[in-house]
Amino acid sequence: MKRSTVVAAAFLLAAGSAAALFPHAVAAAAGCRVDYTVAGQWQGGFQASVKITNVGDPVSGWSLGFTFPDGGQKVTQGWNAGWSQSGTAVTATNVDWNRSLGTGGTADIGFTGTFSGANPAPTAFTLNGVACTGSPVVTTTTTTTTTTGNPPVGRTPVEINGQLRVCGVNLCNQYNRPVQLRGMSTHGIQWFDKCYNNASLDALANEWKSDLFRIAMYVQEQGYETNPSWFTNRVNTLVDMAEARGMYAIIDFHTLTPGDPNYNIDRAKTFFAQVASRNAAKKNVVYEIANEPNGVSWAAIKSYAEQVIPVIRAADPDAVVLVGTRAWSSLGVSEGSNESEIVNNPVNATNIMYTFHFYAASHKDNYRSTVSRAASRLPLFVSEFGTVSATGGGAFDRASSTAWLDLLDQLKIGYANWTYSDANESSAALRPGTCDGGTYTGGGVLTESGAFIKSRVSTADNFPTS
């Protein structure tokens, strides 16, 4: 992929009142600095980041406006804001979680776009209707240019692999080659939402070199059922944040108690209709429709899947869907069964994978034998696992964890570790209190489990492209 020259432009917005034009704003900022950066450019397309810094009075609700200098420039997808365009005029409006900007506060937003002809940077911005004044300060640095085949290959997992699909028993990339994705799962976002912000996702993408970010949205246990709108919006925002960093996002409908996913089938249809419609154009989204079915037959799980998957497909026909399996997604092993019930009666749908979960201190050789056997007949994805006991606690089991990850690497089975959080339990990757401090980089913030998992996730992926 050809990498563009990076252009960073800083602007100072003048003081003024915009309450009449923007009634959602408590007060207009006395001034604002905007940094506009073209982070990457390729044939006919580019990615830009926009950093807003409030240097005036606090605001609650904001709208950023600018005009593209060239009539051929268009926003195609954006993140961390609501994006719209009319002609050459572009508007970015706050989302719920970043609507308030105190003095010195910042909002990092961005978009991908297309262009024909030139791709000059915007030369004027407004914030809540207050026009930019003064001359922009422009700095230019040169980045390297590389060419690697056709279609172009990028640097992030999503840039390299593009839209995923299931081919045989493997997860395959845009080159129809098997790939293994490795990354982390959130804890329940109703409890640990503060852990998922720009700094923590930057660390996950840049320091951990994570390929994916699983978003665990509990349905019960103070989750989705208590406030469907908030949870849906938060999931979508986290999808955008993962996309901005080139990571795949697993949208996990985290059913646990009760164990029969059919209890939540109406909620599932509503939720997946909304998120699939909203995210259909994205290449980084994978849908996990039932986290850990338990105490319920495979036939009931299969029936649930065959009702929910068509809802997703109606809006997003191309994305991979993960289907939970019996007995806490153990392929039935934890309730005395095995993969044969799925092999003999698979879900009637294409482009799907079946999930397997394990906790290394509790699930050992008999579980690994099942995965080894099943992997030759079923497409599997380990959407959750822990290095400790099935309770999420107890001692870190390095030997069993190593045996598991060596097996998954050998079989090219993707995985997400539980959890990228600072929960007070040994399965957490971050030390307790980390999310209060705001620093997520360096070994000092990691638990023993976190340091081990990071060492495995951050090794080179070597995704095949030919």
The size of the chain, in residues, is 466
The Cβ of residue 442 has, within 10 Å, a number of other Cβ atoms equal to 9
The 3-state DSSP class for residue 118 equals: coil
H-helix or E-strand spanning residue 300: helix 298-315
CA distance 33 to 14: 10
Per the residue annotation, which of 288, 339, 384, 425 is the catalytic one?
384
CA distance 315 to 155: 29
Does the active-site annotation cover 225? no
Judge whether 349 and 304 are in contact, CB under 8 Å. no
Concatenating the DSSP letter of every residue in 254-283 gives E--SSS-GGGGHHHHHHHHHHHHHHHTT-S
CA distance 332 to 378: 14
Concatenating the DSSP letter of every residue in 10-77 gives EEEEPP---TTT-TT-SS--S-EEEEEEEEEEETTEEEEEEEEEE-SS-EES-EEEEE-SSTT-EEEE
E-assigned strands of 376-425?
Answer: 380-386, 415-418
Judge whether 42 and 2 are in contact, CB under 8 Å. yes
Per the residue annotation, which of 243, 288, 292, 339 is the catalytic one?
292
Does the active-site annotation cover 243? no
The 3-state DSSP class for residue 129 equals: coil
The 3-state DSSP class for residue 291 equals: coil
Write out the catalytic residue numbers.
292, 384
